[in-house]
Amino acid sequence: MSHVEPTAVGADQVGEGAVVPHGDGVGGSGGDVATAEAQVAVAVSTSGDERRGDYGDDAENEEEEAATVQGSKEGTEELLRKVVYSEEAAYKLYCDYGHRMGFSIRKGKQSYFTGTKRIRTKDYFCSKEGLKEGEKLTDTNFNDPHTRTNCRAMVRFRVNDQGEWKVIRLVSDHNHNLARPEERHLLRSARSLIAGRSSSVEVMLYEGYQVQPQLPAGSTSATNNVENPKQDLLLGYGATAKTLTVGTGDVQSLVSHLKSRANEDGMFYWDVQLDRGGRMTNFFWRDGRSRTDYDCFGDVVVFDSTYRLSKQNLIFAPFVGVNHHWQTTMYGCALLADESTSSFVWLFKSFLESMGNRHPQSIFTNLDQVVSKAVEEVFPSACHRIAHWHIQKNAQSRLGALNVSKPFNKMFTKCIQGCDSETEFEEAWAQMLCEFKLQDNKWLKKLYKLKQKWCSALNKCTFDGGIEYEPQCDNMSNIFNNVSDKLTSLCAIAVAVDKQTEDWREKELDEDARCLQKPPACIIKHSDILNHAAKVYTHRIYKLFETDFLDGCGATKFKELPCQDNNTYQFEMTMQGRGSRVCTVHFNMPTMRLSCSCSKFETMGLLCPHALKALSIKNICKIPESCILKRWTKDAKKWVFNPKQYESSYQECMNDEAAYCNYVMRYAYDLVTKSQGQEALRKVLWETLESGEKELEGYLENVTQHAPSYAT
């Protein structure tokens, strides 16, 4: 730091203002080392003759000066020529250049006109500028976009007295590889531009609302009914329908918000339920991207109606799921005025309608009889499950001190998700009741009656995405902590949900980028099946696969049993360290059909250690095609809407006009979403549509010319 100061002081003495750090760098995580580095870079470039050039006193000379360019001039023309008039525009200009070239941008230092807050010069750096403290540079991480490599590429803008921003210094060479064209939309600063735009629109809308004073909560008898704390969540009947008691201005602002979202997003969906008096009671909404995500991952839905907004006396109820990286993904959310069956039935129907009536295979909810009833009515074919995190949360209040006891907790958890068979579960349950003298516990009795809905041993036939085994799933019950009582208006709640959703989508993009950059490091370098898995699965799913593979091949004993069918093999597998538990695998060689009594593939869509062991015994070095679930692969979101992929839907589209419209609209929407982040992609789609139109018009003309004429 000390060697920086003399220059800074020097600059001050010349009367050009000191270089000061600027706080809101994009891309975050600027470590101290990186900041110090940057200051050194500035100090060096502002010393000696060059500094005179940068901070030249003579305003007239300044106008004629050409920018100093260090490195290749390729692609720099617009950046050097263009004059902009604000910091944002300057930032955007360099960002645009960066994204064309394939690098991300970080904001740097600025200097001010002496004695003012007016910016005189402003620096922007390549995001790989500086070094991150404690990070070791290796061949593998060097070109990773998040690694700092002390890259010197930068630009400096100077503002003249007329407020014109011009580039006066450009370092265009990088010390690392640049992102390839197909990866460029994933660059961090490219994304923040898009996100920044949409959220600022929301802020504008939000701030523009006039929130009306609210009626005092509980001013109607119906409200009081709901306000009474429920004695028993399992017996949740009795709540009667009521209208929203929040101020009409508040409801109006929510409606305006939803309408404007719908204007921006052609696939946005929202629905409101009116009571007999025509007043709004319940809301549901989701955006276009949620629909696309549901089309890809809608096999499992998690619904939670335990959030309470005490100020508005409302229930906030989100629908979420898991994407191909095993991350949370947003499907939509609701604000409900009460917990009546009719409200939930309305909500679930609205949800289904918004998703093209595609039913999930499994739906996880909280422990609530009213919700259960509505699920059975609206999702008759789905497997209804009560998420274990809700049971465990409930147990805390129901079982008191007992729930803190470690031995009890261990047994309780085993009953919920640690048993392999119904017999094992029944034994464990009986033993738990006996050991802790719980035979008369009413809550456990009721819970037992619902065992079909929460015991994993009893749910081995339906896909559930392994959602209850996801390490973060215990947080599932409070993922919307930001949607809390602190928010004063319904609209603020909607904005908070959008924010949360945006964060998740950002994380998904990060994972997408990680998967695109390089395959995961395989623990065994030359294992064909692991390399195959690394190629098809996303990184996170690959890791699960790898663990199962190691368990199967490194810690499983097998016994081959005779089979009547010559082509089928049967094995009994015993995993070391798991007692005498035996799993039976059947493997049909010609059809590559695999099944195991542990049912991991049925529930999770991934091969279990036992099946992997069987493949290994038979020298199969690839995962059978039928055992790769698309939703876990890197291609999970590709080719989803091209109906030619699936013969049946293609035929449907050809025969039915409405089905055709529906499909093509979603297909087009998906392509628009995928292309919007990057100019080159936008161009590609634009041109494709143009040539499509040309062909269509040409065809129409042709048909008209050759049509028989009926004119007399």
| Binding-site ranges for Zn ion (CB under 5 A) | 103, 126, 128, 151, 153, 174, 583, 596, 598, 608, 610
Closer residue to Zn ion in complex, CB, 148/158: 148
Three-class DSSP labels, 65-93: CCCEEECCCCCCHHHHHCCECCHHHHHHH
CA pair distance 408, 391, nearest whole angstrom: 14
Closer residue to Zn ion in complex, CB, 233/608: 608
Kindly report the backbone phi and psi dihedral angles of residue 568, in degrees, each rounded to the nearest multiple of 5, phi listed first.
-105, 140
Closer residue to Zn ion in complex, CB, 128/385: 128
CB of 129 to Zn ion, least distance (A): 7
CB of 519 to Zn ion, least distance (A): 24
CB of 419 to Zn ion, least distance (A): 15
Kindly report the backbone phi and psi dihedral angles of residue 84, in degrees, each rounded to the nearest multiple of 5, phi listed first.
-125, 170
Closer residue to Zn ion in complex, CB, 143/484: 143
Alpha-carbon torsion, ordered 321, 322, 327, 331, to 10 deg? -30
**Token pair 């409070």: residue:** 478
Length of the chain: 712
SS3 content of the chain, % helix, strand, coil (to 5): 50, 15, 35
CB of 319 to Zn ion, least distance (A): 31
Closer residue to Zn ion in complex, CB, 374/628: 628
User: How, if at all, do strands 280-286 and 328-336 pair?
Assistant: antiparallel
CB of 585 to Zn ion, least distance (A): 6
Write out the E strands in 85-218.
Answer: 105-112, 119-126, 154-159, 165-171
CB of 606 to Zn ion, least distance (A): 10
CB of 630 to Zn ion, least distance (A): 21
Across the strands, what pairs with 158?
Answer: 121, 166
CB of 640 to Zn ion, least distance (A): 30
Quickly count: other Cβ atoms within 10 Å of residue 21's Cβ.
Answer: 13
Among 702, 550, 538, which residue's Cα sits nearest to residue 636? Answer: 538
**Token pair 């645009």: residue:** 96
Closer residue to Zn ion in complex, CB, 118/578: 578
DSSP string, 443-456: HHHHHHHTHHHH-G
Q: Which residues contact 333 (CB under 8 A, 6 or more apart)?
A: 284, 285, 286, 316, 317, 318, 319, 497
CB of 507 to Zn ion, least distance (A): 24
Closer residue to Zn ion in complex, CB, 596/629: 596
Across the strands, what pairs with 586?
Answer: 570, 595
Closer residue to Zn ion in complex, CB, 103/571: 103
Closer residue to Zn ion in complex, CB, 106/666: 106
